[in-house]
A = this chain, B = another copy of it.
Amino acid sequence: MLAIGTLAKRTGTKVQTIRYYEQIGLMPEPGRTDGGQRRYGDAELDRLAFIRHARQLGFSLEAIRELLDLSDMPDRSCAQVDAIAQKQLREVEARLVRLEALRIELQRMIGACNADRVADCRILEVLRDHEECLADHAATG
């Protein structure tokens, strides 16, 4: 039986984060000692490792919730799992496109400035006047 701190170390999670996951129902309420401290078994360790790994891959907690639910239904079709992963991939790809546009714009902006004084700074000028931009860099990505 593992204390919360041990679980935290083993999965690279903060103790508060584990309690947060419990609070939002992503982790189950574990057993407790007589004194009221949480004690975890291997199932919880695995579940938390799954969650953390999915988080590292950028899945939202909602998506992870779905994935966990699905993985409790081994006989079901795996299409839904696939769909969630595909969606995540598409989101990542979209963010890549936007970020790349940002990178280019920032580079151009920085490259254009060889002024000394703020008054002549091309960076500020570009920021002031949107027309000077090539791409329409929409969101942050």
A137 touches B57 (CB 8 A): yes
| CB contact between A78 and one of B46, B93, B103, B115 (< 8 Å): that residue | B115
B89 touches A103 (CB 8 A): yes
A67 touches B110 (CB 8 A): no
Name the interface residues of A27-62: CB closer than 8 Å to any CB of B: 46, 49-50, 53-58
So how many copies of this chain end up in the complex?
2
A24 CB within 8 Å of chain B: no
* Chain A: interface size category: 35 or more
A56 touches B138 (CB 8 A): yes
A138 to chain B: which residues have CB within 8 Å? 56
A15 CB within 8 Å of chain B: no
- Docked complex Cα distance between A141 and B69 (Å): 26
